[in-house]
Amino acid sequence: MRIHVAKGLVVGLMVVGIGVALDAQRQRASPHEKTEATIDGARISVEYGRPFAKGRQIFGGLVPFGKVWRTGADEATSFVTDKALMFGTLEVPAGAYTLFTIPGEKEWTLVVNKQTGQWGTQYAEAQDLARVPMTRGAAAAAVEQLTIGLVDTPAGGTLKVEWADTNATADFVVKK
């Protein structure tokens, strides 16, 4: 009987240990935020982790130029729209997506990906719906914590990513 109890205890501890290890991988390292806006009748939301700069060189350092970036922390950044949007000539149908970006020294690319619910480092290029050019600029002031916003404009809307000394934007319109 002692052998069965001991084996049961070892197996139980192993299961708990594996569970703790998996939870540690999924623990959030940064605060999270959900940004919501109604633009030309479309309800749009972005949910993302908001890492801090903490004095680090962000773009070209922590976030390398020319590589797909999770654009946030922890879980992949989610993007939901209840109406089709047009980013230039590229249509994003109503639905749920994941946003990634490819930061560059002079220009950025917004990646709208069809896979959802994954951890931020799990990127499948085969699931890309669209890649959209973004306009890169200098932030008006240093931004300590990553911020993603939705801005209502006279021509439609703008998705805006700001962190450290950089901002990147992608304009869109609601498809009529």
Coil/strand/helix, residue 99: strand
The pLDDT value given to residue 113: 97
The pLDDT value given to residue 7: 56
| Amino acid (1-letter code) at residue 34 | K
Q: Residues near 4 by Cβ (< 8 Å), separated by ≥ 6? A: none
Strand 77-81 to 42-49 pairing: antiparallel
The pLDDT value given to residue 21: 39
The pLDDT value given to residue 8: 52
How many other C-beta atoms lie within 10 A of the C-beta of residue 118? 15
The pLDDT value given to residue 123: 95
pLDDT in tens, the chain (176 residues): 555 554 554 445 444 444 443 454 457 779 999 999 999 999 999 999 999 999 999 999 999 999 999 999 999 999 999 999 999 999 999 999 999 999 999 999 999 999 999 998 999 999 999 999 999 999 999 999 999 999 999 999 999 999 999 999 999 999 98
- The verdict on pTM exceeding 0.75 is yes
φ/ψ region of 72 (left if φ > 0, alpha if ψ in -120 to 50, else beta) reads left
How far is C-alpha 119 from the geometric centre of its chain's CA atoms?
10
The pLDDT value given to residue 116: 96
The pLDDT value given to residue 26: 59
Q: Residues near 113 by Cβ (< 8 Å), separated by ≥ 6? A: 76, 97, 98, 99, 100, 123, 124, 127, 128, 129
The pLDDT value given to residue 20: 44
Domain boundaries, the chain: 1-29, 31-174
The pLDDT value given to residue 4: 55
